[in-house]
Structure 1
Amino acid sequence: MNAMLPQSWVAVGRVTDIPRRGARVVKAPGGDIAVFRTGADEVYALRDRCPHGNGPLSNGIVHDRKVTCPLHGMVFDLTDGHSIGPDACQARTIPVRVVAGVIELGNPLYTETASA
C-alpha cells in the first residue's frame, strides 16, 4: 500500500537547468521521467512515454500547461496527465515541487499517480 509510505523527495536539478517551454529527462528506477518548465516557470513531471503512441514526451512541444506528443500530436495536460481530444488516455504524473529554485520529485518508486 504505497499511500501509507512517507513521502520522500529527490533533488534533480535547478529550474534554470530547463529552458522555458522545454523539458529534461531524469533517469529513475521505474523508467524515465520528463520534467517540464512552462513559459510561466511552472514545473511538472510525467513519465517520459506517451500512453497512446509510446513516444518520448520530453521531445514534445510545451505550450501553456500542456505538452504535444512529438510522434502523433496528442496533447496532454501537464497538471494531471489527461489527454485532450477524442482518444482519451492519461500520462502518468510524478509529484514535483520547487524549493529555493531546486526541483524535487516525489520518490518515483513510491509516488507514481495515474488512474488505471
Structure 2
Amino acid sequence: MPQITVDYSGTMENAFDREGFARALHEATVEIAAARPQACTTQFRPSAHTVFGYEDPGARGHAVVHVRIELLAGRDDETKARLSEAVLELLRGHVAEAAFTLHASAEVRDLDPSYRKFDR
C-alpha cells in the first residue's frame, strides 16, 4: 500500500520522465495521504496502441496517461481529491512538450477490504 499503476501511451515513451515522476509521486503520497515511504510502489504499463476519438491511430497525435492510486481505506474524499490534483500537476512537470496532445487523468480509490500482500 499504496498500489500505484500508471497506464500510458507508448508514443510518450521518450517524453515521460517515469523515474522522476514516481519519486515525486511517492513524496506527494506520503505528504498528502500519510502513506509510509517504503510502502509506495509504482508500476508503469505502456500501451502499444492508443486510439483517440476518430483519429487514425497511425497519426499518433494524441497520448493518454491515467494514474490509479489505491490506498487502504480511511482517507476522506478531500484527501483523495488533493492527491489526484497533485498527480496531474506532477505529470505536467514530468512529461516534456512533444508532438502529441496529452490527455492526463488520475483517480484515488480505496483498496478492497480483501486486499492482502506479502514481502519476500
What TM-score do the two structures reach when normalised by structure 1? 0.27
Higher fraction of strand: 1
Q: Which has the larger radius of gyration?
A: 2
What TM-score do the two structures reach when normalised by structure 2? 0.26
Higher fraction of helix: 2
